[in-house]
Amino acid sequence: MASLKRIVPSLGALAVFEAAARLGGFTRAADELGVTQAAVSRQIRALEDDFKARLFVRGHRSIQLTDAGRVLYEAVGQSFERIAEAVETVKNPTRPEVLTVATTLAFSHFWLLPHLTAFRAERPDLELKVISKDTPTDLRDGEVDVVLRFGKPPFRDGTVLVSQPEMAYPVASPDFAASLPADFDLYHLADYPLIDIDPAVPTWMTWREWFRLAGIRPPARRSGLRFNHYSDAVYAAINGEGVTLGWHRLLERPLADGRLVRLGEKAVEPGDGHHLVVSEREAQRPAVIAFVDWIERSFATSL
């Protein structure tokens, strides 16, 4: 592998780029770094010349990242953050141990955050960092310690230590359910407004797949209301916009407190579930062991 010095012309220039991208301006970056605005501009131009790609679109009083700039900023920003954390650990070895957990936006919002107080009470000595995103996380990148992932194992980047099976059925707000006719049944569900998602991960089940597995006539056309995040679809259903797919374990709180109700008795179990995945290098860390134990107990007491 080529040396870093040959691949990256200047770590200092990358630090200037990171500041400009994060702060949204060359002048603000110059103020933070204690240099002139002209010096920032020169460093950015040098990077662009080296990469043979524009990193920013310059406006009169603002800058915006180009596609190439966004790719670089995502990598540089994460790397600098990890370097800063490592430096802080070296300088202050008694600081709390950091545990980084990645999961989807929906799992973070509807399951992890409502339960997290219990773990924080058990382990106040840990500094917990939660990364919520619907794009795939690869444990081999070293960005996170554990992943709470929805899908079907095995996974190439780690070992599944705890699992919770899932099933899906139609859910809606109590008011929407009350508005349905007395003779409503799921075999006529396609006649009602359905809220669907365009999933970031292709294996995530949509309404059409649910109808197929349930053996029910699917809608003749695409849903009139679609979201790219499942959590938005759930909130649309809570607000009475129609019916969405309800994942039984994931939506335990909205179902328990009455914000959502189940429609009918038919459920589909596609084989997907929620899994705690850990890389081999992190499996024996005390913080990871504690989190795995807590997740196992929490899954066991869920709905």
Over residues 169-211, the pLDDT tens digits come to: 999 999 999 999 999 999 989 989 999 988 777 677 889 899 9
pLDDT classification of 303: cutoffs 50, 70, 90: low
pLDDT classification of 1: cutoffs 50, 70, 90: very low
| Contact between residue 44 and residue 56 where contact means Cβ atoms under 8 Å apart | yes
Over residues 240-295, the pLDDT tens digits come to: 999 999 999 999 999 999 999 999 999 999 889 999 999 888 888 999 999 999 99
Residue ranges and CATH numbers for the domains of the chain are 4-91 (1.10.10.10), 97-165+273-300 (3.40.190.10), 168-262 (3.40.190.10)
| Contact between residue 249 and residue 274 where contact means Cβ atoms under 8 Å apart | yes
Give the H or E element holding residue 129: strand 126-132
| Contact between residue 163 and residue 293 where contact means Cβ atoms under 8 Å apart | no
Over residues 201-255, the pLDDT tens digits come to: 767 788 989 999 999 988 877 777 899 889 999 999 999 999 999 999 999 999 9
Of the candidates 299, 301, 294, which has an alpha carbon nearest to the alpha carbon of residue 117?
294
* Percent over 70 (pLDDT), the chain: 92
> Which residues are paired to 150 by β-bridges?
274
Query: What three-state secondary structure class fits 132?
Result: strand
Q: Between these two residues, 11 and 99, which has the higher pLDDT value?
A: 99
Complete DSSP assignment for 52-105: TS--EEE-SS-EEE-HHHHHHHHHHHHHHHHHHHHHHHHH-TTSPEEEEEEE-H
pTM: 0.68
The answer on pLDDT for 87 being more than 80 is no
Average per-residue pLDDT for the chain: 88
Residue 210 in tokens: 């649910």
